[in-house]
Each structure stands twice: as structure tokens, then as C-alpha cells.
Structure 1
Amino acid sequence: MTLPIDPTALAGLVSRQIRTGERQGMPTKIAIAERTYATDPDDLWNALTDAGRIPRWFLPISGDLSVGGRYQLEGNAGGVVEECEPPKRFAVTWEMGPMISWLEVRLDPAAEGTTLELVHEAPVDPDMWKQFGPGAVGVGWDLGLMGLGLHLDSGAAVDPATALEFPTSPEGMMFVRTAATGWADAAIADGDDPALARPAAEATLAFYTVIPEEGTQS
């Protein structure tokens, strides 16, 4: 499968918002990404929750996907399924080592198909936020939502090698820059200083688009 030739337009399909929150007495940042897909809620729900279909656009997944069960994405996050209301919403913990955050996905019918709203709430790491802002997490979700759209449009699986190489391609760099800028705009709208948010977006761009030196592994 080839990846899109108009990455700026594709990145523009996602609307982005940042909110400042609090959970269990800890300050949090809430990243919200929204995109509408040209399919019905049942098909989109299946693509998001079927263990055999998730790897066709994201990552292999194992574990128990029922409420209370633990899941694990290969080489990425794991966690606990906390809530599930097919085909409307689900909520899971998002655990990377000792870091725990919370993810909720909501689906709503729309005139053009189905709108997906992804809400990721995480404790604030001041140093990480200063360096990257919301883009370090947000751009990752942008790439995932892009893969989901490619799969839904064609029915085919996204080639993992092509997806891995995409951010370092010229088209991929344009996509990441557009997405990182969008997340910086969202952070500024939430009150972040533009003088800090803009360099953080550039750091995010460098993080996602660096090409490993020959003989090294990423």
C-alpha cells in the first residue's frame, strides 16, 4: 500500500485541542484529536476493537479486551480496559513502564460517516512538556489515525515497514510538521507561551523525523 501524496491535507483532517486538567490530585494535560471517517459506527468500532483487525492499521495486540481485562500492544503501551459501550465508546489505561495515563475513544454518527474523538489525559512532566509540548504524544496519535483512515478507505492492511519509514520521507516530514504545528496551536490556545510552544513543535518534528545513522538501530 502506498501512503498519501498530500500529507498536509491529510494532517488537516484532524482537529486538535489541549485542555489543562486534574486527576487524583495531579495536574494533567488532555490531548483531544477528532476526525470523521467515511464509514458507519459499527465498521469503525470493529476496526478499533477487534484484535484481528487492529494490527491491520496499528500494532499487534494481545490479552483480554473485555472490561477488566489487560491488553498489550506489541512494543508499545498496555493497560486495563475500564469501560466499553459498543459501538459508542471505550476507556482504557495507557501504561508505558511506570507511566500511567488514560485514553477514551468516542464514536458519533455524522453526515459524512462517523466522527472519532480520542481523548488522552496524562500527568504533566514539566521537563518533557517544556521540551516537546503535546506533540510528542499528539503526533503519534495523528500517525495512528492516518493509518486507520488508510485501512478504512481500502480495506487493506497498512504495510508496517512502509508506515515505519513514512515519517522520515519528504511527505512524512510534511505530515509531521503540520501535525506538530497543530498541536502547538492547540497548546497556545490553552494558555501556553508561544515562545515555548513553537520551539517544542520543532523538537517534536526532529524527534519523529530523525533518520538513524547507518549501522545503528532506532
Structure 2
Amino acid sequence: MKIDVTHQISAVRRKVGKRVLEAGEARVITIGQTYDAPLDDVWDACTNAERIPRWFLPVSGDLVLGGRYQLEGNAGGTIERCDPPKSFAATWEYGGDISWIELRLTAEGEERTRFELEHIAHVDDERWAEFGPGAVGVGWDSMVMGLALHLSTGASVTPDEAMVWVASEEGRRFMTEASEAWCAASIDSGEDEQSARAAAARTTAAYTATGEEGQ
């Protein structure tokens, strides 16, 4: 598994914001990347139960409107909205918490597709202050990287291969740079710079297991 870390980090666009829902204000992180693949192919990669494990995680359930899904060892939820091949929305249920994801795909010509995913969650101020957007953002960075590799090469990456790569020097550099990029997005959203950097340092430590934390 060979990744151009610098290229992949710079290819992704990250945004941090807020949204008012019926239950109150929620945090929103948005991650996007443009792939050199046609719209229908990207949609199939994101919704076909046989392809999803090649770049993300094994998935079970009914991948249809109203159906339940479960990612192995990760989140599950209900598909609440679906507009093939442009968008879908689903709940994201993990560790007793419920949040939401929304995926949008936009054709850029015949052979390029803009991928954009929003993760919307009610996060209390204390937990946000501890880790910031990178807590989930770094994981989504890994996901869009896996999709980039799959779409560009057709390759499949097993969970074991992914774990070995994450523990490598290259993998730790990727996690570190992704965390720093989410820190920059947080600061751009108006977050206090010192607080954002401290939260990012804790996120980096958690993902790379360095044990180093910001002061």
C-alpha cells in the first residue's frame, strides 16, 4: 500500500461549521475530494456492498432507502434519504451516540466527480474542546484516501493491510498531517487558535499513539 501523503492531504478540502437542528445546535464537518472517475462509478463504489469493503470496511444490511446497515467494527444506522446517483443521507450510530452523514456527488465533466461528505453531530463543548473536529475528521480522511486508491487503481485494501500501514512511519505522517489540516479548518471557522492547536495535538497523539499532548 503506497500513498503519496502530501498529494492526498492537499487534494482534500475540509470545512468546520454549525447547523441548527430540531434538537439544537450541531457541529458539522465537511470533507471533499474530486476523483478522476465518472459519477456512476463513484456512486457504485460508495453504495455497492461488494465494493465498499475494498476501500472502507465490510458492510452488512439492506443498502436501500429505509434499510439498516452495519459497518464491521464501526458505525451502523438507517438510510434516510437516497437520490441515485447524486446523494444519500443516513444516521451514524456508534457507541450509543447518534449523528448523521450526508453524501453528495457532483459530476465535473464526464470523467471527474466531486465527492463531498458532511458529518453532523451534537457534540458538547467539553468534548469538542478536548479533540476538536479531528476526532472524526482524521478517520474520514482515511476513508477518502482509501476511495482515492480504489478508484485510481482498482486495488482492494484489507483491514489487516490498512492496520499495518497506519502503524508505519508513512501512516503516522498521514494521520499527523490530517490532524493538522483539521486544526487549520477549525481555526478558519473561528475557533481560538491556541485551543484548536491543543485539541489537534491530543487528536494526533490518539491516532499515532505517541502519547504526546498539547499543553
TM range (shorter): over 0.9
Is the partner of 2:11 in helix, strand or coil? coil
AA in 2 matched with 1:144: M
Displacement of 1:33 in angstroms is 0.4
Which residue is equivalent to 2:180?
181
Displacement of 1:211 in angstroms is 7.3
Further displaced range: 201-210 or 37-46: 201-210
- Paired with 2:102 and 2:124, the residues of 1 have a C-alpha distance of 21
TM-score normalised per structure 1: 0.92
Contact 2:134 2:182 in 1 (8 A): yes
Q: Does 1:102 align with 2:100?
A: yes
Which residue is equivalent to 1:131?
130
Which residue is equivalent to 1:216?
none
Which residue is equivalent to 2:29?
31
Which residue is equivalent to 1:81?
79
AA in 2 matched with 1:137: V
Number of equivalent positions: 210
Which residue is equivalent to 1:117?
116
Which residue is equivalent to 1:14?
12
Contact 2:176 2:208 in 1 (8 A): no
AA in 2 matched with 1:136: A
Contact 1:62 1:72 in 2 (8 A): yes
Residues 17-71 of structure 1: CA distance to partner in whole angstroms, max 9, x if unpaired?
0012221232211000010000000000000000111001111111111111111
Q: Indicate the percent of aligned positions where both proteins have the same amino acid.
A: 49
Contact 1:83 1:92 in 2 (8 A): yes
AA in 2 matched with 1:99: D
Further displaced range: 202-211 or 187-196: 202-211
Is the partner of 1:12 in helix, strand or coil? helix
Which residue is equivalent to 1:53?
51
Which residue is equivalent to 2:157?
158
Residue 192 to residue 211, structure 1, CA distance change in 2 (3 Å): closer
TM-score normalised per structure 2: 0.93
Further displaced range: 166-175 or 142-151: 166-175
- Paired with 1:15 and 1:114, the residues of 2 have a C-alpha distance of 14
- Paired with 1:155 and 1:132, the residues of 2 have a C-alpha distance of 34
- Paired with 2:134 and 2:20, the residues of 1 have a C-alpha distance of 20
Which residue is equivalent to 1:67?
65
Contact 1:168 1:210 in 2 (8 A): no
Is the partner of 1:104 in helix, strand or coil? strand
Q: Does 1:172 align with 2:171?
A: yes
Name stretches of at least 5 consecutive residues in structure 1 with no aligned partner: 213-218
Further displaced range: 21-30 or 84-93: 21-30
Superposition RMSD in Å: 1.5
Which residue is equivalent to 1:215?
none
Displacement of 1:206 in angstroms is 0.9
Name stretches of at least 5 consecutive residues in structure 2 with no aligned partner: none
Contact 1:20 1:190 in 2 (8 A): no
